[in-house]
Structure 1
Amino acid sequence: MTTWHWVRHGPTHQKTFTGWRDVPADLSDKAAIARLAQHLPKDALVVSSDLTRSVNTASALQGTRTRLPHDPALREFHFGVWDGVHFSTVAEWHPDLSRAYWEQPGDHTPPGGESWNTSAARVAMAVQRIEAAHPGRHIIAVAHFGVILTQVQAVLGVSAQEVLAHKIEPLSVTTLNRATSTAEVINHLP
């Protein structure tokens, strides 16, 4: 039985759509990183998306844990032409599409990007591949808000619209177990 410990990368302080753009994470909160590293299983494998904000957060948490290669399939959603653009500007450009993208997530696709369903399928294939290569292990996956939500959705069996109500803070951990269909989200460790 594989247990996933999904960690959202450190904060980026972006006020825009931030998908495949490679922006750094603010890892200055050493106490929060230390608490998170202490909380995570010592014998877990560590994997991250290949974007700098996840790679550097994974490096900060790794310690003596074994690191797997960065995985581009664990990238955040691809927002296409919306990436790097403020949400209000996107709403002006594409009022109906931008509203539908969040209110009815599924097949709505930003221009040049990918839909919720396409993103979720990409991440699911990566999860299956990693689980097959490392069965029964604890896996710390440092990734992104949307990526983590797709996995909460898959484990809990809820709709994309329902899962968007979950709060996933930077430097939080979401522990998922498919065998028991359980999810525990810890946004702030004591």
Structure 2
Amino acid sequence: MTRLWWVRHAPTHEKSFVGWRDVPADLSDTALIGRVADHLPGDAVIVASDLQRASATADAIGRGRARLPDLPHLREMDFGLWDGMDWRAVAARDPDLSRRFWEEPGDLRAPEGESWNDVSARVAGVVDDLTMRFAGRDIVLVAHMGVIMTQIQRASGSTAYQALGHQIDNLSVTRMARDSTGWTLGAVNHLP
């Protein structure tokens, strides 16, 4: 069995959509970072999104664990023109699309951005590669809320809309596993 330990990056304190915009994480909560590091398996391999908020979080929780190069395919959803806008501005700019984007996740895209299905396919490819390369091991993946939700959908067999209903707090841990029979979903949004 290969176990995946998804960690959402430390907070950014942004009040707007943050997709591929590269904003830093606030790593000042050293007590929580320490609890997360203690909660993770000591022999796990760690990989992160290449965005600095995830990469810096992986460094902070790493504690000498094997660290793979950062992967752009683990980036958050690309919100395109919505990136940097708050939800009111997005709703004013694209009233119908902005509502349907969350209520009907799938092929709908933010202007010049990605769809849920785009992100799911991008992340699934990386996860499949990692679970084959590190079969039978623990893998810590430090990424973003949307990325984690796509894999919750995959592991649970839920719909995209149901997966979007999960809370994924900063520095929370979501576990899932893959064996010869498929995926199982463990704890979601665990704060050690």
Give the TM-score taking structure 1 as reference length: 0.97
The answer to whether the aligner puts 1:154 opposite 2:154 as a matched pair is yes
Residues 101-140 of structure 1, C-alpha deviations (whole Å, 9 max, x = no match):
1011011101110000011000000101111221111000
Q: Distance in 2 between matches of 1:126 and 1:107?
A: 20
Deviation at 1:186, TM superposition (A): 3.8
The C-alpha deviation readout for 1:47-84, integer Å capped at 9, x for no partner, is: 00000000000000111210001000000000000001
Equivalent in the alignment of 1:110: 110
Q: What amino acid maps onto 1:5 in structure 2?
A: W
Pairs within 5 Å for 1:18-33 = 18-33=18-33
Q: Conserved in 2, the CA contact under 8 Å of 1:80 and 1:113?
A: yes
Whole-Å separation in 2 of the counterparts to 1:168 and 1:145: 6
Name the SS of the counterpart of 1:85 in structure 2.
coil
DSSP 3-state at the match of 1:59: helix
Secondary structure at the residue paired with 1:177?
Answer: strand
- Per the TM alignment, residue 187 of structure 1 is displaced from its structure 2 partner at its CA by 3.5
Q: Is the 8 A contact 2:5 2:40 kept in 1?
A: yes
- On the 8 A contact 2:17/2:79 being kept in 1, the answer is yes
**Contiguous gaps of at least 5 residues in structure 1:** none
Contact 1:155 1:176 in 2 (8 A): yes
Q: Secondary structure at the match of 2:191?
A: coil
Quick one: percent identity of the two aligned structures?
Answer: 52
Which position in structure 2 is the counterpart of 1:85?
85
**Alignment map for 1:55-94 (pairs within 5 Å):** 55-94=55-94
State the Cα RMSD in Å. Answer: 0.9
Moved over 2 A (4+): none
Q: Which letter maps to 1:8? A: R
What is the TM-score with the length of structure 2 in the denominator? 0.96
In the TM superposition, 1:121-136 aligns within 5 A as 121-136=121-136
| Matched length | 189
1:95: Cα distance to partner?
A: 0.5
AA aligned opposite 2:107: D
Which residue identity is paired with 1:141?
Answer: L
